Each structure stands twice: as structure tokens, then as C-alpha cells.
Amino acid sequence: MLSQEEFQILYRFQVTKVSQHVTQRMLAEELSVSLGKTNQIMNNLLEKRLIETGADGEYQITKNGVEALEPYRVQNAVIMAAGMSSRFAPLSYERPKGLLSVRGDILIEREIRQLQEAGITDITVVVGYMQEKFFYLEDKFGVRIVVNEDYYRYNNTSTLIRVLDRLSNTYICSSDNYFVDNVFEPYVYRAYYSAVYEAGETNEYCVECDGKGKIKQVVVGGRASWYMMGHVYFDRAFSEAFSEILKREYHQADTKEHLWEDLYIRYIRSLTMYMRKYSKDKVLEFDSLEELREFDPAYINNADSKILWNISRVLGCETGDIVNIRAITSGGTHTSFQFYVDGRAYVYRHPKKRMGKHLNRKSEAFSLQAASGLHLDDSFIYMDETDGWKISYDIDRSRGLDVHDPREVSQALDMMRILHTKNIQSAYDFDIWEKAMEYRKQLTDLEYDDFEDFDRLYELLRSVQLRVGEDPAEKCLCHCSCFPSNFRIDHQGKMYLLDWEYSGNDDPASDLGTFLASSDYRMEEAVAVIGEYLGHPAKGRELAHYLAYTALTAYYWYLWTLYQKMSGKHADSRLYTWYQHAKGYAKQALKLYSEEDG
């Protein structure tokens, strides 16, 4: 095995082929060692016949020297391009971040060319989000494409698990990095993670090393720190050790849902890696459109973004006026970002096509117009009923209502009554039982119904549905997801009813039922809320009707949550609550119906 200094000298001579009049003093400066130490290293290399002097007296590498370098040759590269980069709103909603053009270069294409210029031609690109947009790279650059179908549910460990057979002396790259200079080399001495320095505060993965540059600790967040940024190099020993750990740990949710770096940190004592320092202006990653605009001014007025053009058209501004863009935590059926125009905050809602197939955007657009007209949602500005995108005013410092605050509950009930008493008729229905049966069928078809009381719970709720069907009731426009969290209260106390994605014509009891089913009320508290909504004490068949709809809505959201789990999506934490309320309210409703029957 070569020492690091021996490797550096051989690498220098191999890349340049001749010494170019190099002196030992020059080498001593490059190696940061004494002249005497350099003389000793050169003599050792001459004795081993790894270098020789030519007829002109210049040093050059020998055939033996080239062979000695071979274990350090980079075998291949893996470019991770599967993620959605949701923080880079809105451009990442329209194309993968790696396909952005920066100063005239497509990010991933620039990276591939730099790898190839360094002699690394075996390149694997792992894709997921909008994967079809990367396929052309196979023909254009001769890369290998690997598809990660778990990109939306797990983190980048789900990418590396698919290329374990490729890991050797391997560069691990992110498709969205921009390297001002080519950072790649045909030979690398040992595993490293590139890092840049931040003088102020940072939330990145900060690196602490020993005196030789070996990483001994990584912590999230710090000040005046070197932090992980850019490419990584796995040498053969690191690849073998990491692969065994990943194979052993991948079945755990904590491993799948976190970065591969988190797994590395967990086993840092068993995984030897060094830090390689780079200037912050040479290794770049753009976390926001603002950062990209600063580096590439072309994005100020022409970001080639349909989303920004939509905003510009609706608000009557220039795309360059859209600033301070910040991604908001993704919802179940959409992603959103906040932005400012002329000092005012707005929110853009972008639908997830993959997760919105059960939704009717035309119905939602109609309902939003109605809600705006009734002042139930004064944040609404515009919605495109075809593509499902929406622009709203941002509700400053909003929160969900407290179901145990009588004033807030009364205000929410008033808003429900306003909607229901207007008797607005939509062209679209949202029958809660029919929708529940759609989810039940899909769960059954996919054999996600193999637990003891799946059918028993259905039979109980089917009995409730049959009794409800006997009750006289007229349908009208309903919100259909009146969760307490959808009643938002701003810092001035104004309440808004948001998220009309599931709206349509249904029995008004379904709105109150959803509100009760998603609250932690005792039965007597729920009965009191029903009475307040009605304006008189609820009893008999009328009370049974509202309790029945509470059970039906709980059952719908129970099946909805099971479907999310089955599909590998984020599942609502209230699954057990829905289950309990479906059973509890169903039994109470059936009891009241029986009592009324005499």
C-alpha cells in the first residue's frame, strides 16, 4: 500500500506523464512536508522502481508505478437524481432540479461531462421523480439508468440500496450540484466527503475531524464550521463496510426514511472517511430560487416556469417581482410554497397528480368560489379547475381552532350553518358512503384487508348506512372535511374555512360528523355540540341521524388512512381515533334508532 505522499507523487507524474521540470523543493511544498522527508520519499520510489529519471534527468512514472496506482483508480460514479427537491419551489414542481439550466449548462449534464473528462465513463444515474425526463441521458452520454420507485416515500438510502452492486471505488454525486471547476479525479487515495466552510450559523451537517482529517463526528447545525456539501468518494473498503450495514439496516423505517449520511453517522466508528475541503464559491448547491437568481441573473426575469407565469398573470406582476419563495410542508394531496409580491405574502398550492386521482378539481373550484362569496374563505384568490393549482393570500400566523374553546367552536358551527342554510347546489356530489366503498374495494382488491375486524366493522357501518337511508334529508354543498385544523384563525381572531378539495353535495350532517369524529369529545360533549348546531337540544331520530353521520365520516377517514398506508404514503396519525369513533358512534346511533322503533 502506498503512503499518501507516495500516492500524491505518483498521481502527479501519471496525470502529467512527465515531471515538467519538477524539483524536490516544489514537491515538498505541494506535499507540505520537509525537503528531507521529500528526498526520502523520492529515494524510496526510485528504489521500488515506481519512478525513474529519464535521459534528460527528469522524473517520470514507470510501468510499476502505474500498477501501484491501480488500486486507487476510480471505477465508476453514481449520480442520485431520484428526489423531488421540494425545497426548491416552484421550479422543482415542473422539472427535476438536476435538469435546471445554470449559466447555460444543464446541471446533471455538466456533472456527467466533468466525470467523463476525468476518465470516469461508467456512470449510473438513479432516477425517480419525473424519471422519464432523465431517460435521454442514456443515449446522449451512455450512462446507465436505474429507477427508484420508492423515491416519494423513502429518503436517499432507497437510492443506494439499488446500486449496492455498483459500489466500489465510486463517486457518489447529487444531480443538483454545480462545480465551478472539475472536482473529479481518475485516482483517489481514500474515502472522503467534500466540505465547505461557513463562518456564521448553519443547519447543515457539520464535520469534526482529528488531526489527520479523519471525520470523527458529524452534528446537525453549528457555527464557524466545515459542513458536508457536494460529492462524496467511497473507496473499496468503505463501500464494502457500508453495503453490509445498509443491507442489514434497510428494513428499519428509521433507515429508509433518513439520509444515507444519517446511517453513516450512526456507524461512524466503523466507517472510515476523511474530509476534503473546498472553497464555498467552487462547490455550489442552490436551495432556493433566490440563491439561483444571485448566481445566474437570467432567472430574475425569465425562470422558464409556467408556475411563475401563472402567478404573474393572476396578480398582474412581473416574474421578477415574485420573491422570498419558501416551500411549505407538503400536504397529502399537494405541495405549496409561500411567496411575496410588493411586500404581501401569498401561497401557491400545486397539486400532486399522483395523489389527487380521487379528487375533483372542478368541484373544488366551484366550492371555493362559493366559499369566497359567503366569506367563509377570504384568503381565496384564484384556482385553475383543470390543473388544480391555486393562489391564496397567506393567513398571517394562523392556527387551528381549539375544540374545547366554546367561542371558537360556536364560530365554526356558525360557518357550517351559513354554508348549509344557503342550500347551494353543486354539479358534483360527494356521497360519504359511496366514497368510503371506493376505498374499501381498492383495499380488498389489493388484499390489504387481512385483519380480523375489517369485515365486521364494515357490517356495523353498513347497518348504520341502511338506517340513515331511511331518514328524510336534502343534500347541499358541503365542505366534507371539516376537521378542526381546517378552521384557521389568524392573529386578529378572524376564522377561515380552508381546504375544499373533498367538497360536493352531501347531507349537511356529514360536515358536523367530520368535525366531531376528528375531535376528542366524550359522547355527551358531542351531543351538546350537535344541539348547538341545530339551535335546540338534539334527541331521538334527529340525534341518531347526526351520530350516524359521525360514525360514517369516521369510517370514511379510517379507510382513507388505510389506503394511504397501503400506498406507502404518509398516513394520518388518527387511524386509531377514526376506528374507535366509527365503532362508538355507530353503536350509539343504532341504539337510538332501535329505541325510536319502540
**Amino acid in position 529:** V
Give the separation between CA 85 and CA 289, rounded to whole angstroms: 12
Instruction: Specify the 3-state DSSP secondary structure of 569.
Output: coil
pTM, rounded to two decimals:
0.78
Task: Give me the mean pLDDT over the 356-362 stretch.
Answer: 73
* pLDDT level of residue 451 (50, 70, 90 thresholds): confident
Of the listed ranges 298-312, 326-340, 395-409, the least confidently predicted one is 326-340
Asked if residue 133 has pLDDT above 60, the reply is yes
- Residues with Cβ within 8 Å of residue 111, at least 6 apart in sequence: 79, 173, 175, 177, 179
547-570 pLDDT, tens digit each: 999 999 999 999 999 988 877 665
Residue pair 423/386 in contact (Cβ under 8 Å)? The answer is no
* pLDDT given for residue 326 in this prediction: 87
* pLDDT given for residue 30 in this prediction: 80
Task: Give me the mean pLDDT over the 129-141 stretch.
Answer: 96
Among residues 385, 347, 389, the alpha carbon closest in space to that of 365 is found at 385
Chain mean pLDDT for the chain: 92
Residue pair 561/440 in contact (Cβ under 8 Å)? The answer is no
Give the separation between CA 150 and CA 254, rounded to whole angstroms: 15
Give the separation between CA 383 and CA 184, rounded to whole angstroms: 47
58-88 pLDDT, tens digit each: 888 999 999 999 999 999 999 999 998 877 8
Residue pair 360/504 in contact (Cβ under 8 Å)? The answer is yes
Cell of 275: 474530509
* pLDDT given for residue 59 in this prediction: 84
* pLDDT given for residue 408 in this prediction: 97
Task: Give me the mean pLDDT over the 184-199 stretch.
Answer: 97
* pLDDT given for residue 13 in this prediction: 86
* pLDDT given for residue 193 in this prediction: 97
Where helices occur in 143-193 by DSSP H, the ranges are 157-160
* pLDDT level of residue 456 (50, 70, 90 thresholds): very high
Asked if residue 18 has pLDDT above 60, the reply is no
Asked if residue 334 has pLDDT above 80, the reply is no
Residue pair 349/390 in contact (Cβ under 8 Å)? The answer is yes
388-445 pLDDT, tens digit each: 899 999 998 889 999 999 999 999 999 999 999 999 999 999 999 999 999 999 999 9
Asked if residue 331 has pLDDT above 60, the reply is no
- Residues with Cβ within 8 Å of residue 394, at least 6 apart in sequence: 338, 345, 346, 347, 379
Asked if residue 179 has pLDDT above 90, the reply is yes
Cell of 240: 464494502
* pLDDT given for residue 32 in this prediction: 84
Percent of the chain at pLDDT > 70 equals 96
Domains (range + CATH), the chain: 4-71 (1.10.10.10), 76-285 (3.90.550.10), 305-394 (3.30.200.20), 398-597 (3.90.1200.10)
Task: Give me the mean pLDDT over the 329-333 stretch.
Answer: 58
Strand partners for 414: none
Give the separation between CA 31 and CA 13, rounded to whole angstroms: 14
* pLDDT given for residue 329 in this prediction: 64
Asked if residue 267 has pLDDT above 60, the reply is yes
Asked if residue 355 has pLDDT above 60, the reply is no
* pLDDT given for residue 136 in this prediction: 97
Asked if residue 571 has pLDDT above 60, the reply is no
* pLDDT given for residue 575 in this prediction: 87
Task: Give me the mean pLDDT over the 534-540 stretch.
Answer: 94
* pLDDT given for residue 225 in this prediction: 96
Instruction: Specify the DSSP element, H or E, that contains 583.
Output: helix 575-597
Where helices occur in 227-280 by DSSP H, the ranges are 236-249, 253-256, 260-266
